[in-house]
């Protein structure tokens, strides 16, 4: 039997309802996000989001990842200290998830690669934070060249608990990326 190919392309607003359904299943099966946002569409289009990519199998949207600005992020200072860069040079990888039924086939890695390539195109360094208990996601990030730079203790008001976010810095862009070409 043929294994359907996974394609990755930029997200459009028409993808959002399908992604909301995918996120519902991810939440039920894997507890991500810990609490479902009141509006998934708003959550996926949060104001710091600058670009998003979707993974598609046989015309069906099965997952996504976004690039967001670092300014105002809870981990902004930690990333700045770890890289010595200003927030404008940092691209935050966010909202990465894949439908539980199609996980383990490379979609997560491909989505991460798409956001990293997009950051590099702009001469930016990709950064992210992840629940310190999410070993699977951490393995994917570390295999993609991300290194942990510290943990942040966050208070989760909705749940009344403390949550440990592991912060990562990804590979820098190739030397020439994002700079104006001479002449």
Ligand X SMILES: CC(C)(COP(=O)(O)OP(=O)(O)OC[C@H]1O[C@@H](n2cnc3c(N)ncnc32)[C@H](O)[C@@H]1OP(=O)(O)O)[C@@H](O)C(=O)NCCC(=O)NCCS
Given the rule CB under 6 A, which residues bind ligand X? 26, 30, 32, 96-98, 103-109, 130, 134, 136-137, 139-140, 143
Q: Which is nearer to ligand X, 94 or 123 (CB)?
A: 94
For the record, the structure tokens of 51 come out as 């670009």
Q: Minimal distance in Å, beta carbon 108 to ligand X?
A: 2
Task: Count CA atoms within 13 Å of residue 68 on its CB side.
Answer: 23
Cα separation, 26 vs 90, in Å, equals 28
Beta-carbon contacts of 94 under 8 Å, excluding residues fewer than 6 positions away, are: 49, 65, 66, 67, 68, 128
Cα separation, 67 vs 90, in Å, equals 10
Q: Minimal distance in Å, beta carbon 179 to ligand X?
A: 30
Q: Minimal distance in Å, beta carbon 132 to ligand X?
A: 11
User: How many residues can be counted in the chain?
Assistant: 183
Q: Which is nearer to ligand X, 116 or 123 (CB)?
A: 116
Q: Which is nearer to ligand X, 20 or 177 (CB)?
A: 20
Q: Which is nearer to ligand X, 89 or 166 (CB)?
A: 166
Q: Give the residue at shortest CB distance from ligand X.
A: 108
* Backbone phi and psi for residue 93, each to the nearest 5 degrees, phi listed first: -85, 125
Q: Minimal distance in Å, beta carbon 167 to ligand X?
A: 11
């Amino acid at each position: 039997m043929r294994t359907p190919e996974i394609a990755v392309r930029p997200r459009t607003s028409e993808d959002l309802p399908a992604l909301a359904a995918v996120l519902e299943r991810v939440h039920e099966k894997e507890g991500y996000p810990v609490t479902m946002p009141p509006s998934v569409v708003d959550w996926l289009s949060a104001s710091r989001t600058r670009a998003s990519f979707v993974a598609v199998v046989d015309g069906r949207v099965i997952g996504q990842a976004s690039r967001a600005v670092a300014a105002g992020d809870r981990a902004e200072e930690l990333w700045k200290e770890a890289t010595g860069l200003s927030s404008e040079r940092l691209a935050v990888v966010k909202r990465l998830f894949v439908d539980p039924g199609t996980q383990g086939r490379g979609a997560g890695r491909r989505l991460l690669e798409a956001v990293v390539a997009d950051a590099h195109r702009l001469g930016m360094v990709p950064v992210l934070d992840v629940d310190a208990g999410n070993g699977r996601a951490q393995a994917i990030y570390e295999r993609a060249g991300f290194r942990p730079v510290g943990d942040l203790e966050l208070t989760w008001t909705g749940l009344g608990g403390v949550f440990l976010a592991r912060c990562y810095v990804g590979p820098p862009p190739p030397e020439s990326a994002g700079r104006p070409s001479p002449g």
